Structure 1
Amino acid sequence: MLYGRNPVLEALRAGLVQELLVARGVEEAFVQELKTFDVRLKFAPRIELDQLAGTTDHQGVMAEVEDLEWATVDDILDRAESRGEQLLVVLLDGITDPRNFGAIIRSAEVLGAHGVIVEERRSSPLNATVAKAAAGATSFLPVAQTKNLPRLIEQLKSDNVWVYGAAGEAARPMAQLDFDRPLALVIGAEGEGMRRLVREKCDELVSIPVRGQIQSLNAAVAAGILIQHAVAGRK
């Protein structure tokens, strides 16, 4: 069950929804917007949606959709090739918070990355919380798993993909690096950062300049900044 207005509307636009559950008392303008889609609307007390979602943060609408499916790494590589673009992929090392995971997927889709890849054992599952935080981006951006992230990095490098790892203590700020090349950006876990082996596999460690007293950024924010910088730095 997918919940939240933006995720549900994006799933509707993608043709993934057959039936909607709408809380009684939702404003009529929103109901009329939902009726523009060729799906069945079922109205229920808001408490029923609370129970189904396991939260009150459903914004009065839920949709039953097919389970979110993992893409493959090849799907992401093919996406870049089919567009005639240099690869830009985001690798996540230990992002286990579903809201951060979803927010990174959202930024990657909005800003123009070709996909997101996580390691099977060190990631949040691809669930409704992720989909809500992604605001529907899971319907449009391939998200893949790999069994071994360091090994995948080696494979990408052998295919002439450069790998930059985000590290707050890195000596080289992002302005000093070349982003106009096939690129994988690695984002590590909150607090812990990247694992040692993952760091060692990166071609470069890159920092985001900060001016405040707090010296680190949320993982999702850091990912968004680096993706935007990479896209802007391409000819």
Structure 2
Amino acid sequence: MTQIIYGIHPVQEALKSSHFEFEKILIGTRKPHPAIQIITDLANQRQIPIIYATKEALDGMVKGGNHQNLVGFLKEIPYATLEEVLSRWRRSGSEALFLILDGIQDPQNLGSLIRTALGCGAHGMIIPRDRAVGITPAVIKVSAGA
């Protein structure tokens, strides 16, 4: 399932990460932010299609969010299995640090927890499949520090 992310910092951070695969990136036709050039360079390196769109088209995609003339379309957000997370930790040779979450409903809270976990060097986060917020554009935006 395609997932959108928007805003300069979230899109740029996702482009730098090998965990995210993009279908395409839409850039507004209005006066571009200087960081847009960095983003287009990263997108070109990864052979991600860039499409130019009107502000109105971008506004309609993010439904009130601050897109900063930039919307990325991600292929399915990758969730690691518990076995993959544990294997990554074992290979690291360090003491384990995992964040185990239950019932987090607010995207802002999940985004903040992801950002904190990354900053603390956590090996992974364990979140339930049901009765919890998934990875949404708001979660990605907050986790990127935007």
TM-score (norm. length: structure 2): 0.82
- AA aligned to 1:22 is I
- Say how many residue pairs are matched: 136
SS at match of 1:22: strand
Contact 1:89–1:114 under 8 Å retained in 2: yes
Question: Kindly, what percent of the aligned residue pairs are identical?
Answer: 30
Task: Indicate which of 90, 96, 104 corresponds to 2:105.
Answer: 96
1:25-174 map, 5 Å: 25-37=30-42, 38=44, 39-135=48-144
Unaligned stretches of 5+ in structure 2?
none
Aligned-partner Cα distance in 1 for 2:99–2:84: 14
SS at match of 1:58: coil
- AA aligned to 1:30 is A
Worse-superposed segment, 30-39 or 45-54: 30-39
Deviation of 1:90 (Å)? 0.6
Give the aligned partner of residue 28 of structure 2: 23
The answer on 1:4 being equivalent to 2:13 is no
Over residues 34-59 of structure 1, what are the superposed CA-to-partner deviations in whole Å (9 max), with x where a residue is unaligned? 23121332221112111111223122
SS at match of 1:120: coil
Contact 1:7–1:135 under 8 Å retained in 2: yes
Over residues 180-206 of structure 1, what are the superposed CA-to-partner deviations in whole Å (9 max), with x where a residue is unaligned? xxxxxxxxxxxxxxxxxxxxxxxxxxx
Deviation of 1:134 (Å)? 1.5
Taking only aligned residues, the RMSD between alpha carbons, in angstroms, comes to 1.9
- AA aligned to 1:87 is A
Deviation of 1:31 (Å)? 2.8
Larger Rg: 1
- AA aligned to 1:11 is A
Contact 1:95–1:123 under 8 Å retained in 2: yes
Deviation of 1:20 (Å)? 1.3
TM-score (norm. length: structure 1): 0.53
Over residues 72-97 of structure 1, what are the superposed CA-to-partner deviations in whole Å (9 max), with x where a residue is unaligned? 11222111110101110011121110
Over residues 94-123 of structure 1, what are the superposed CA-to-partner deviations in whole Å (9 max), with x where a residue is unaligned? 111011111111111122001111222231
Deviation of 1:28 (Å)? 5.0
SS at match of 2:144: coil
Over residues 50-71 of structure 1, what are the superposed CA-to-partner deviations in whole Å (9 max), with x where a residue is unaligned? 1111223122201111111221
Contact 1:68–1:127 under 8 Å retained in 2: no
Unaligned stretches of 5+ in structure 1?
137-235
